[in-house]
């Protein structure tokens, strides 16, 4: 039974942690993602403040669905184990031609509980373990102290600083 549950989790790309469940985003999440990703405190560093349109959210979901089918990763929706509300998102996506980066966001009401680190750690370990990626990257605005703290807790190492729209961005990596 345990093996069956494990196989289903692999097929569904489900990731579970002590407190959270991560599952791939679907078209049904459109309204929730729109509200979450366009909230000012969330979009500030995630999208350089840009308010994504519904069409852009649809495109992001479709890209994620295609990416899960082709490569086994994309964007996961985070919810609390036993809860139904969207708590945030975490994902893996290409960073230019450098490799694959981890990204994450939480609803502001869920900040300060360790959820981002818990979710991002599950994603990074999935990438370096079952997915077999050689390394995972992150690109973080230097002014985004909360996100810098997340990548540091994940044990990622800075290797480069590049200019971004809001100021310098530090690139981090964690290798297998
Ligand atoms: C980046 C972001 C996800 C960080 O959220 P966060 O809540 O600060 O990070 P975590 O969920 O890992 O929580 C860590 C905090 O929870 C605290 N905490 C409380 N209970 C905890 C527990 N049981 N376990 C672990 N940490 C816990 C930690 O001490 C830490 O607090 P501190 O910041 O005062 O040191 C959030 O600011 C966000 O969504 N920003 C908008 C999107 C964004 O910028 N994404 C990153 C783009 S690169």
Pocket test of ligand 1: the residue of 150, 151, 156, 158 to mutate, having most ligand atoms within 8 Å of its CB, is 150
Atom of ligand 1 nearest to the CA of 144: 44
Domains of the chain: 2-133 (3.40.630.30)
From the list 1, 22, 2, the residue with the least C-alpha distance to 12 is 22
DSSP code string of 39-103: SHHHHHHHSTT----HHHHHHHHHHHHHHHHHHS-SEEEEEETT--S--EEEEEEEETTTEEEEE
Compute, in angstroms, the gap from residue 145 CA to the centroid of ligand 1: 10
Contact between residue 145 and residue 133 where contact means Cβ atoms under 8 Å apart: no
Ligand 1, pocket-test mutation among 112, 136, 162, 166, most atoms within 8 A of CB: 112
- Token readout for 14 is 């489900």
166 CA → ligand 1 middle, Å: 21
In this prediction the pTM is 0.94
pLDDT in tens, the chain (176 residues): 666 555 656 668 999 999 999 999 999 999 999 999 999 999 999 999 999 999 999 999 999 999 999 999 999 999 999 999 999 999 999 999 999 999 999 999 999 999 999 999 999 999 999 999 999 999 999 999 999 999 999 999 999 999 999 999 999 999 98
Between CA 120 and CA 102 the distance in angstroms is: 7
């Amino acid at each position: 039974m345990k093996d069956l549950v494990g196989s289903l989790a692999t097929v569904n790309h489900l990731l579970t942690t002590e407190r959270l469940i991560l599952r791939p985003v679907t078209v049904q999440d459109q309204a929730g993602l729109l509200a979450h990703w366009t909230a000012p405190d969330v979009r500030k560093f995630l999208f350089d403040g840009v308010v994504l349109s519904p069409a852009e959210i649809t495109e992001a979901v479709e890209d994620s669905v295609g990416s899960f089918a082709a490569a086994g990763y994309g964007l996961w929706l985070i919810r609390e184990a036993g809860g139904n509300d969207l708590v945030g998102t975490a994902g893996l996506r290409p960073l230019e031609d450098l490799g694959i980066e981890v990204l994450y966001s939480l609803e502001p009401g869920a900040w300060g509980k360790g959820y981002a680190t818990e979710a991002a750690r599950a994603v990074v370990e999935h990438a370096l373990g079952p997915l077999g990626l050689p390394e995972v990257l992150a690109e973080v605005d230097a002014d985004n102290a909360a996100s810098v703290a997340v990548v540091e807790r994940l044990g990622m190492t800075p290797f480069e600083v590049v200019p971004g729209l809001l100021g310098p961005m530090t690139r981090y990596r964690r290798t297998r």
